[in-house]
Amino acid sequence: MTKPFLKIEHVDKSFSRGAMTNEVLKDVSLEVAEGEFISIIGHSGCGKSTLLNIVAGLTKATKGVVFLQDKVVDEPGPDRAVVFQNHSLLPWLTCYENVALAVDKVFGKTKSKAERHDWTMHKLKLVHMEHAKDRRPSEISGGMKQRIGIARALAMQPKVLLLDEPFGALDALTRTHLQDQVMQIQTELNNTVLMITHDVDEAVLLSDRIVMMTNGPSARIGEVLEVPLERPRNRLELVSDRAYIAARAAVLKFLYERHRFVEAA
Amino acid sequence: MTQTAAASNVTPLKPAQPAEAPASARVVALPTPKKPFFGPRMKTRAMDAAATFIPPLLTVGALLLFWEVLCSSPTSSLPSPSRVVTDTWELIANPFYDNGGNDKGLGWQLYASLKRVALGYALAAVVGIGLGALVGASTWAMRGLDPVFQVLRTIPPLAWLPLSLAAFRDGEPSAIFVIFITAIWPVIINTAVGIRNIPQDYKNVAEVLRLNPIEYFSKIMLPAAAPYIFTGLRIGIGLSWLAIVAAEMLIGGVGIGFFIWDAWNSSRISDIILALVYVGAVGFVLDRIVALIAVAVTRGTANA
């Protein structure tokens, strides 16, 4: 068996406030192979964002370790680029400058100025945003902002791409469009991706494996589902695909039968 | 000879042009459409300008008229606007005369005041942004310094003047110090608030990119807090201009504040009124200048 690329080992996370301790994650372990697309799905508040932040290094685990290529992850870094749910573009920079900030920081020493410019433009082209390069984030739509966010993350040439509910704040049409684009980029670049979502269709469509989390507090990985679908995948053809329907049903069953979100009812 | 055969099968659409077609055609000049003196675009622009300028002009006109009526009686204690203009025409016409000593035109008086404000305010801006950044970024600096600032900032500017005169033993640096100490508090407090309010998202971006402290300061902190900083700078410039007039009344010498005090001592009420108009106008211009710099620097994220 090949060595896992990304390894999450027995991670616990609890937030304490005075005497109150709130355990969010309990004994989470996951192994991810290189080039794999993993979705983490679960109800709101189950700690999936916390898990992603631990992998990103933005939050420290209370117990347990994350290894990336056998190296311990203990701080944030561009090898684990994050696409934030609310895009987090810097509003005083243009789209080009937002991506260039990352490129200049990551490749400031290894690439020449012209190479960095080409690299930035290439990433903008990859998400079809080169036409808006001189616009500011406030002047473009939510979907476009998220595409710039994806371009910025890809521009860091990360070992793992972390997507924190990247399409959560978008309308349904824009979301499908962006999902298709992410799939296309994924076939081109074959990144290792960890994506958080609460959209069942999105999880099944995009991922190789779906990690289903139980409800918090003390959320665990409840089940891991392989998605045995050939790539490239086509949204329309999959609608009637039996494997797709079965996978979708399994996730729905997990979320709404076995781990219903009680507080929401 | 298939070509000729083919050609004979084709019916020409148009009879061939006769070789000697009469090639004479007169060029008739169409009458150029009469351009209205004001194009439609010009018209809307003129309307916009009118909408902006007519209401304040009307207000000012009404106020002047009211004042004129109120002070027109020969026994009134204050001069009417027309009296002010006739009394001070010398000063209005020659803003830059210099008869030595304090007897200088209003242009020079304002220049002297502006110079003091520029120095004190520049110092306040630099030190204020620095201290504000410290207080905003460090919890311990905030705990230690904020209470001190909150007490010091309530001290009226002029109350500092005797103390600074005692310390500097000279009017000029004392006036500058009063400007400094007046303008610095809003700059510190607004900068600190701006920096404390930097969204976690931007900090996350900085962390993922591993920006070092200097890069973080220049690429995230300053631009993110810039709208707040400029709010502080705008309040600061307004306060400095308020304080300089009062401070100059006490320290004497050349300056618009002492000019007003001097005019009062020699009962030149019209001169005082003219000086007040100038002070107001300069204060307004200073505020607009800082606001415009803010818009230019923050690329439109600050309000004009």
The pLDDT tens digits of the residues spanning B71-107 come to 988 888 899 999 999 999 888 888 888 888 888 889 9
**Nearest beta carbon to residue A105 from set B209, B224, B226:** B209
Residue A106, classed as helix, strand or coil, is helix
How close B208 gets to chain A, by Cα (Å)?
5
User: Of A77, A88, A156, which is closest to B201 when you measure between CB atoms?
Assistant: A88
Nearest residue of A to residue B205, measured between CA atoms: A88
- Taking the C-alpha atoms of residue A251 and residue A259, their distance in angstroms, rounded to an integer, is 11
Q: Which two tokens stand for residue B4?
A: 């000729």
- pLDDT tier, B61 (very low <50, low <70, confident <90, very high otherwise): very high
* CA distance, residue A76 to nearest chain B CA (Å): 5
**Which of these, A191, A196, A208, A207, lies nearest to A79 by C-alpha position?**
A191
Please determine, for residue B170, whether its predicted confidence score (pLDDT) is greater than 70. Answer: yes
Shortest Cα distance, chain B CAs vs residue A101, angstroms: 9
> Which residue in B205, B211, B298 is closest to A92 by CB distance?
B298
pLDDT, tens only, A6-39: 999 999 998 888 788 888 888 999 999 999 999 9
The DSSP secondary structure of A200-246, one letter per residue, reads HHHHHHH-SEEEEEPPSSSB-EEEEEE----SS--HHHHTT-HHHHH
Per-residue pLDDT tens digits for B270-281? 999 999 999 999
Q: What's the rounded Cα separation, in Å, for the pair B84 and B91? A: 11
- CA A120, CA A236: separation in Å to the nearest integer? 33
Q: Do the chains contact at B219 and A101, CB–CB below 8 Å?
A: yes
8 A C-beta contact, residue A13 and residue A61: yes
Cβ atoms of residues B182 and B239 within 8 Å: yes
Quick one: which of B149, B183, B299, B294 has its CA closest to B229? B294
H-assigned helices in chain B: 2-9, 40-70, 81-93, 106-137, 139-152, 160-168, 171-196, 200-208, 213-215, 222-251, 256-265, 269-297
List chain A residues with CB under 8 Å of B219. 101
pTM recorded for the entire structure:
0.76
The residue of chain B with its CA nearest to that of A85 is B201
- For residue B242, give both structure tokens: 């308020």
Q: Is B22 helix (H, G, I), strand (E, B) or coil?
A: coil
Q: Which of A25, A29, A27, A26 is nearest to A9 (CA)?
A: A29
Residue B137, C-beta contacts closer than 8 angstroms, at least 6 positions apart = B195, B221
**Which of B205, B210, B223 has the CB atom closest to A88's CB atom?**
B205
Residue that the structure tokens 């920081």 belong to? A105
Chain B residues close to A57, C-beta within 8 Å: 207
Residue of A nearest to B215 (CA): A105
- CA B149, chain centre distance (Å): 27
CA pair distance B268, B281, nearest whole angstrom: 20
Domains within chain B, CATH numbers bracketed = 104-298 (1.10.3720.10)
Considering only the beta carbons, identify the residue of B207, B224, B299 that sits closest to A58. Answer: B207
- Give the model's confidence band at A264: pLDDT under 50 very low, under 70 low, under 90 confident, else very high: very low
Number of A/B CB contacts below 8 angstroms equals 51
Average pLDDT, chain A: 88
Whether the pLDDT of residue B304 is over 70: the answer is no
For the segment B212-233, what is each residue's pLDDT rounded down to a tens digit?
989 998 899 989 999 999 999 9
The number of beta carbons lying within 10 Å of the beta carbon of residue A234 is: 14
Q: Could B207 and A57 be called an inter-chain contact, meaning their C-beta atoms sit closer than 8 Å?
A: yes
- Average pLDDT, integer, range A144-167: 91
pLDDT at B300 over 70: no
Contacts of A156 in chain B (CB under 8 A): 208-209
What is the signed CA dihedral for B147, B150, B155, B161, rounded to 10 degrees? 70
Residue type, A160: V
Evaluate if residue A181 carries a pLDDT over 60: yes
Helix (H) or strand (E) holding A22: strand A20-32
Asked if omega into A232 is within 30° of 0 (cis), the reply is: yes
Average the pLDDT over each of A45-49, A152-156, B262-266 and give the range with the smallest value: A45-49
- The CA distance from A132 to A116, in Å, is 18
Residue B79 contacts residue B273 (beta carbons within 8 Å): yes
Greater pLDDT, A258 or B249 = B249
Q: Do A92 and B215 touch (CB under 8 A)?
A: no
d(CA A72, CA A247): 33
* Residues in contact with B211: Cβ distance below 8 Å, sequence separation at least 6, in sequence order: A105, B219, B220
Of residues B201, B208, B298, nearest to A56 (C-beta):
B208
Average pLDDT over residues B239-258: 91
Model confidence at A229: pLDDT above 90: no
Q: Which residue of A has its CA nearest to B227?
A: A92
Look at B210 and A82 and tell me if their CB atoms are within 8 Å. no
CA distance B300 to B303: 7
A59's tokens: 């939050």
Helix H segments across chain A?
A: 48-56, 95-107, 113-126, 142-155, 172-189, 200-206, 235-238, 242-253
B230: chain A residues, CB-CB within 8 Å: none
Alpha carbon distance B143, B172 (integer Å): 35
DSSP state of A254: I
Q: What pLDDT score was predicted for residue A230? A: 85
Q: ipTM of the predicted structure?
A: 0.85
Say which DSSP state B104 is in: B
Note whether A92 contacts B208, CB cutoff 8 Å.
no
